């Protein structure tokens, strides 16, 4: 694992220290790693959303489509709950 040193204004350092002391993270490094992972996931999701927005429409999405979608999801949830 590589090491990286960062400089933070006092207010940000206090915030990081507070996050660690609340018990959410064991160290400041764990907190920063979690933030970086979340940022990576956010960028990946953004890319997927943009790709979807750029893709051609493949059908109509009217009220009947969403009703059917809700029914399928409800059925799947019921089946998962019974297992």
Contact (CB, 8 A) for 31 and 16: yes
Domain count, the chain: 1
Please report whether residue 19 resides in a domain.
Answer: yes
pLDDT at 51: 96
Mean pLDDT of 66-73: 94
Contact (CB, 8 A) for 15 and 25: no
Please report whether residue 2 resides in a domain.
Answer: no
For the chain, give the mean pLDDT.
93
Those residues whose C-beta lies under 8 Å from the C-beta of residue 16, and which sit 6 or more positions away, are 8, 28, 31, 32
Cα–Cα distance measured from residue 70 to residue 27, given in angstroms and rounded to the nearest whole number:
43
For 47, the domain range is 10-81
Cα–Cα distance measured from residue 49 to residue 34, given in angstroms and rounded to the nearest whole number:
22
Cα–Cα distance measured from residue 59 to residue 44, given in angstroms and rounded to the nearest whole number:
26
Please report whether residue 53 resides in a domain.
Answer: yes
pLDDT at 53: 93
């Amino acid at each position: 694992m590589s090491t990286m040193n960062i400089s933070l204004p006092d207010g940000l350092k206090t915030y990081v220290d507070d996050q660690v002391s609340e018990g959410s993270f064991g160290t400041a490094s764990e907190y920063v790693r979690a933030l970086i992972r979340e940022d990576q996931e956010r960028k990946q999701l953004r890319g997927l959303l943009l790709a979807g927005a750029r893709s051609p429409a493949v059908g109509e999405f009217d009220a009947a489509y969403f009703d059917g979608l809700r029914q399928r999801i409800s059925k799947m949830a019921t089946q998962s709950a019974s297992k």
